[in-house]
Every structure is written in structure tokens, then in C-alpha cells.
Amino acid sequence: MYTLLHGLYKHVTQKDEFFVLILGLDNAGKTTFLESAKTRFVKNYKGVNLSKITTTVGLNIGKIDTNGVRLNFWDLGGQEELQALWDKYYQECHAVIYVVDTGDRERIGESKESFIKMIKNENTRGVPLLVAANKQDLEECMGVREVKPLFESNVDHVGTREVMVLATSGLTGEGVVEGIDWVAQCVVRNMHARPPHDKEKS
């Protein structure tokens, strides 16, 4: 009886595990976005001072439970030499959050190029994609209407995957909860194509 109840308890409390890549150029705001999400979703999370975060070198990780699933985030460094490593994670991931610095017009072309490279990669085919038009709190930023066509012009490679371009600010929290919840719903909808990893106790 105990075993039966224990098994049932485990079944109810365990969550499907999904992996989400956070990509984008260095300085786009990836780490700040992830920290901002953690402070909003993780109970008792003692966040760091968001305005003190410096650019990602290497890998930052995070874990968020929402909509009945567990999302494991990999925030990868965006420097050119680190972008070569992104490839290694594509096969394993269930969704991508691509962060764009909308305050940096000079690098928007570079950001678009690395985005195209990523969606052209065979291993990201069909993977749901959130484009975070980030730093919307900046006065001179490009709005979603300006950013969207830049990233949607590659729709051939986007294929049939789910895509959303969303106005966000890691600093103010704009769009953060909406974006994460959307990703959580997408990975569940896409479960037949990319099944979750082994369940782990919550």
C-alpha cells in the first residue's frame, strides 16, 4: 500500500523537464532576463541586483517551474568565439529564447545574422522560438513593429515552428512572465516532436 501511495505521490509531484536555450549577442540582456524571470517565478529566490549584472561569459543556468512543467534554462555566452558552442546544445533543447538588444541599432544586423545561422541549423528545426525584443525601457529603442520584420523575413527557415516576437525588458520585467509562460505552453504542445527529459522530483 505504501509503495502504491508513494508511487502515486511521485507521479503527481514530478514534473516533465524541458531545456530552453537563451541566445543572443553579448550584452543583449540574456543574463538579466533570466535573473528577472527567476525572481518572478522561483519562490524565495534572493535575486541579484539586476542593474549590476555583467555580460555572460560561459554559461548561466536556471530552473523555473510553471504551467505544470519544469524549464531548465541555459544562458549561453554571446561572444563570437562562444557562439560556436551554441551548436552543441541545439539537439538537446526544447525551445529557444533569442534576446535582441533593441537599443543597439549598430549591432542589429549582426544579431540578425547570428539569428539566421541558428534557425538554419538542422538541429533547431521545429523548436519553438521566442524573440525577445529586449530593453524596451530605453527611450530610443526599436519597437516590436520595427524588429519583427527583420526577424520574420527569414520565415523560410522558421518553417512550421511556433514563433513570437515579444516586447521585453529584463530590467523592468516587461514581458518576462508572459514570455516564459508562452514558452512553457509551446514545449508542451511540441512534446510529440521533442519529448521531455526524464522526470525529476520537484
Helices 108-120 and 144-152 cross at an angle (nearest 10°) of: 40
Q: Name residues contacting ligand GDP, limited to 141-170 (CB under 6 A).
A: 169-170
Task: Count CB-CB contacts under 10 A for residue 37.
Answer: 26
Site for ligand GDP contains 30 (CB under 6 A): yes
> Is 38 among the residues that bind ligand GDP (CB under 6 A)?
no
Tell me the residue nearest to ligand GDP as measured from the CB.
29
Gap between the Cα atoms of 72 and 66, Å rounded:
11
Query: 28 or 37, CB closer to ligand GDP?
Result: 28
200: its cell numbers:
525529476
Q: Which of 3, 44, 51, 160 binds ligand GDP (CB under 6 A)?
A: 51
Contact criterion met (CB below 8 Å) for 75 and 34? yes
Q: Which of 16, 21, 27, 102 binds ligand GDP (CB under 6 A)?
A: 27
Q: b/e per residue, 143-152, with b = 16+ CB within 10 A?
A: ebeebbebbe
Residue 175 contacts ligand GDP per CB under 6 A = no
Smallest separation, CB 86 to ligand GDP (Å): 13
| Residue 16: CB minimum distance to ligand GDP, A | 27
Non-local (6+) Cβ contacts of 198 within 8 A are: 17
Give the binding site for ligand GDP (CB under 6 A): 24, 26-32, 51, 53-56, 78, 134-135, 137-138, 169-171
